[in-house]
Amino acid sequence: MSRSLNSSVIRLHEEHHALEDYQGGVPRWCNGCGDNAILAAMQRLCSDENLAPENTVFVSGIGCSSRLPHYMKTYGFHSLHGRAFPVAEGIKMARPDLNVFVSTGDGDCCSIGAAHWIHALRYNMNITVVLHDNHVYGLTKKQASPTSPRGLKSNTTPYGATLEPMNPLTVSLGVQGASFIAQAVDWVPEVLYDILKAAYRHRGFSFVRVLQRCPEFMPKAFDPWLHDPQRTQILTHKDGLQLSPSLSSAYRNQLAHDPADIDRAREIASMDDPIPVGILYRNAGAPCYEDLRHAGTLRSPAAIRAGLDRELDKFTFWPEGAEAAAAD
């Protein structure tokens, strides 16, 4: 073997990352929690796409879903409640070369973080977002969230939730600038993975809502769909999902949908039963905010230091003659 070929093989071996390279601490979610399926899909995605752990960042807010960065052996930022989006955007502006993911929940994203969520859709930065939607605040022990079904009795709604639930899909599709909207369910792991892979490969703000089970506080919320696969409608298209033969035989309720058709996407997103699963909308031509603002081009260490020096010099009192010497 030649020296160059030998070095190439060694470099390829060194740069390949196995699944174990992304597995952090032992998850502390409840047995049967859908967050486990999302974590498994994320770790598989990182391995299959061979994302360097040192160039990958997972950002979260507060909630059960937001513990995900603790279980990824990458960089992570466990931020404040509802503030995952501005943190992730700041990271992307400073380091547009990094792979940035956001893990958020229905309360974290759609309640206290709603304004950040809406504007993040507008900015369309190249970030992959996973909304873990179990219809309840789980970490704080069963309070109604914005996506809780009407009538849900919880610690904050003992007589039943008054309002109809928010639909994160229709909200997202109504924001100017949204470029990738999809929905998955945790109990079909193959499709969940395929959707996350498509979301990562899309250049822009990829928003994936995952309906996920909470065995502790919403144990039977999704039972009708679990027991009857025909109540899950898979969206298929040559530019979207294509099911394997075995999965196609189990989930026969399929709908051909072109992700470029935003009007049809809005109609499909409004459906509750059957649950639509797949890529609802994708616009590969939408501009990314970091490109419009030339992110990262002026943030070299030398440029940062020069900028700080300029600002600090405005308030510096130089001894006589020292200012001229410093200028030299």
Concatenating the DSSP letter of every residue in 166-188 gives P-HHHHHHTSTT--EEEEEETT-
Residue 63 CB coordination number (10 Å)? 26
pLDDT at 287 over 80: yes
In angstroms, the CA 316 to CA 5 distance is: 57
**305: Cβ–Cβ under 8 A, 6 or more apart, which residues?**
none
Quick check: 9 pLDDT over 50? no
Which residues have C-beta within 8 Å of that of residue 281, sequence separation ≥ 6?
173, 178, 179, 180, 181, 259, 260, 261, 262, 265
Task: Please report the pLDDT score of residue 158 as a whole number.
Answer: 95
How does pLDDT run across 262-275, given as a tens digit for each residue?
Answer: 999 999 999 989 99
pTM: 0.87
Phi and psi, residue 49, nearest 5° = -85, -5
Q: What is the average pLDDT score of the chain?
A: 92
Confidence tier at 239 by pLDDT (50, 70, 90): confident
Tens digits of residue pLDDT in 63-94: 999 999 999 999 999 999 999 999 999 999 99
Mean pLDDT of 235-249: 92
C-alpha neighbours within 13 Å on the C-beta side of residue 18 = 3
Residues facing residue 83 across a β-bridge: none
Out of 52-56, 237-241, 323-327, pick the least confident: 323-327
pLDDT attached to residue 304 = 82
Domains and CATH numbers, the chain: 19-288 (3.40.50.970), 298-328 (no CATH)
* pLDDT, position 322: 63
